[in-house]
């Protein structure tokens, strides 16, 4: 069984961290004290959904609406896996 995050959890970036689109790099980056994570497209899209209000279910639904051509189940799995991994690495947290 894959672990999944609670669908009602509201994840947000770790305090003091910032998500930013970098035109020069052509990608989103996650900025933190004296460091930077260079994100791929899907990581950038998922983190861009974390506005401090949306829960996991809403993030999944939004991205499914945004990418109607991709299989809905695959998007859900990507979001779940990414959020757990990002939380484990300390990029994001929830209450």
Partner 1 sequence: MTDRTHTAAINGATGAPLWLLAELTYRCPLQCAYCSNPLDFAAVQEELTTAEWIDVLSQARAMGAVQMGFSGGEPLVRRDLEELVAEARRLGFYTNLITSGLGLDEPRIEALREAGLDHIQISLQASDPDVAAAVAGSPKAHAKKLAMARAVKAAGYPMVLNVVLHRHNIDRIDEIIALCDELGADAVELANCQMYGWAHLNREGLLPSRAQLEAAEATTARWRERLVERGRDMRLLFVVPDYYGERPKACMGGWGSIFMTVAPDGAVLPCHSARMLPMSFPNVRDQGLEAIWYDSEPFNRYRGDAWMQAPCRSCEERHKDVGGCRCQAYLLTGDATATDPVCSLSPDHHLIEAARREAETATRPIAALTLRNVHESRVFCRQ
Chain positions contacting partner 1, by CB under 8 A: 15-16, 18, 20, 22, 24-25, 29, 31-36
Q: Which is nearer to partner 1, 21 or 71 (CB)?
A: 21
How far is 88 from 85, CA to CA, in rounded Å? 5
Q: How far is the CB of 94 from partner 1 (least distance, A)?
A: 15
Q: How far is the CB of 21 from partner 1 (least distance, A)?
A: 9
Residue pair 60/70 in contact (Cβ under 8 Å)? The answer is: no
Among 41, 38, 33, which Cα is nearest to 17's?
33
Q: How far is the CB of 93 from partner 1 (least distance, A)?
A: 10
Residue pair 11/79 in contact (Cβ under 8 Å)? The answer is: no
């Amino acid at each position: 069984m894959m672990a999944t995050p609670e669908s009602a959890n509201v994840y947000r970036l770790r305090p003091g961290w910032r998500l930013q689109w970098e035109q020069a790099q052509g990608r989103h980056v996650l900025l933190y004290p004296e460091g930077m994570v260079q994100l791929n497209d899907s990581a950038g899209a998922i983190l861009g959904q974390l506005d401090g209000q949306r829960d996991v279910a809403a993030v999944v639904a939004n991205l499914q609406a945004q990418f109607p051509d991709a299989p809905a189940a695959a998007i859900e799995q990507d979001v779940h896996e990414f959020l757990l991994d990002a939380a484990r690495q300390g990029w994001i947290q929830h209450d």
